[in-house]
Structure 1
Amino acid sequence: MARLSILDRFRPVGTPGAAGPAGVPAADDQGRAAELAPVFAALAGDVAACEALVAEARLSAEGDVARARAEAAAIVARARLDAEAARVRAAARIEQDASERDAQLLEQARQEAATLEKTGLARIPAVVGEVIDNLLTPQSAEQS
């Protein structure tokens, strides 16, 4: 017994009915526009609804853009004010730091001056004695 292929089930057969003339269907005299007119007429309501949605979306988008621009302008203005305040605070902090450094330097200079004054006062008797000795030494040499 011959084995049948699975494709043998799909043998080509003719179409039912009597054979007709072969060829391309005759062209419609009214053309595609007449054929599609009922389809477009059925879609007219949907097209109008879509146009209304698009118009509404445009208005909404314009409002959103206007609000976003106003908010951005407010943020920029606030940032400028904050930046100016930050500059003022930074300048005050720098000035305060400089004042503190100046005060430290002044205190250090006062301490150094006090130390020099004490050292100088402590050396006065020795210097006075040396000056007197120097003044008297030439006179002693001249008298001898």
Structure 2
Amino acid sequence: MAGLRDTLNRFRPAAAPGAPGRRGVPADRAAERESELTSLFAALAETEQKAEEIRQRATVEADRVRKDARLQAEAVVAEARLRAEALRSAAAAHTRASAERERVRARQATLNMTEQQGHRTAERLPGLVARAVSLAVDELSTTRAGSP
């Protein structure tokens, strides 16, 4: 009687057709792969489910992060607008103050020029009046001398 080992060797997968080899049952490679992969895919089903849950949580988290970033960006823009308005107001105040200083300086320069002109006029006026009187007297003298 054949032993257990001999009986099992008969069901051992046989090699591909070709040169004669040991005796056995032709191998069903597709069935072997399917049986091996079925258990592997069954084990991976749980992993796939976990991966899908992770993707869903990541999508929710990404949406939350985008929303938070949008709110933060809006806050930054609002603050920047307030700062820009404050800077514009400060620049306008600085410009107005600078213009006022220039106006005061120009007014003072005008007053100084007017005062200087007044002094020159006061200095020159007596001489000009004397000359005008002298010319008028000469003209009157000439006119009287030439009239009958």
Same fold (TM over 0.5): yes
Runs of 4+ in structure 1 over 3 Å off:
25-35
Match of 1:90 in 2: 91
User: C-alpha distance in 1, partners of 2:92/2:34?
Assistant: 78
Per the TM alignment, residue 143 of structure 1 is displaced from its structure 2 partner at its CA by 3.0
Match of 1:105 in 2: 106
Per the normalisation by structure 2, the TM-score is: 0.74
Counterpart code for 1:139: L
Per the TM alignment, residue 51 of structure 1 is displaced from its structure 2 partner at its CA by 1.5
User: C-alpha distance in 2, partners of 1:33/1:98?
Assistant: 91
**Structure 2 CA distance for partners of 1:95 and 1:78, relative to 1, 3 Å:** same
Per the TM alignment, residue 89 of structure 1 is displaced from its structure 2 partner at its CA by 1.1
For the aligned residue pairs, the C-alpha RMSD in angstroms reads 2.0
Match of 1:77 in 2: 78
Counterpart code for 1:80: R
Q: Tell me if 1:37 matches 2:38.
A: yes
Per the normalisation by structure 1, the TM-score is: 0.76
Residues 1-144 of structure 1 aligned to structure 2 (within 5 Å): 20=21, 26-28=27-29, 30=31, 33-144=34-145
Counterpart code for 1:36: L
User: C-alpha distance in 1, partners of 2:34/2:21?
Assistant: 29
User: C-alpha distance in 2, partners of 1:50/1:109?
Assistant: 85
Task: Give the unaligned 5+ runs of structure 2.
Answer: 1-19
Per the TM alignment, residue 85 of structure 1 is displaced from its structure 2 partner at its CA by 1.3
Task: Give the unaligned 5+ runs of structure 1.
Answer: 1-18
Secondary structure of the 1:138 match is helix
Per the TM alignment, residue 101 of structure 1 is displaced from its structure 2 partner at its CA by 0.5
**Structure 2 CA distance for partners of 1:119 and 1:28, relative to 1, 3 Å:** same
Provide Cα deviations, 1:55-105, integer angstroms capped at 9, x if missing partner.
111111111110000000011111111111111111111111111001100
User: C-alpha distance in 1, partners of 2:138/2:100?
Assistant: 54
Kindly indicate whether structure 1 or structure 2 has the higher relative contact order, using CA contacts under 8 Å at least 6 residues apart.
2
User: C-alpha distance in 2, partners of 1:93/1:135?
Assistant: 59
User: C-alpha distance in 2, partners of 1:33/1:109?
Assistant: 106
Per the TM alignment, residue 30 of structure 1 is displaced from its structure 2 partner at its CA by 4.7
Identical amino acids, percent of aligned pairs? 28
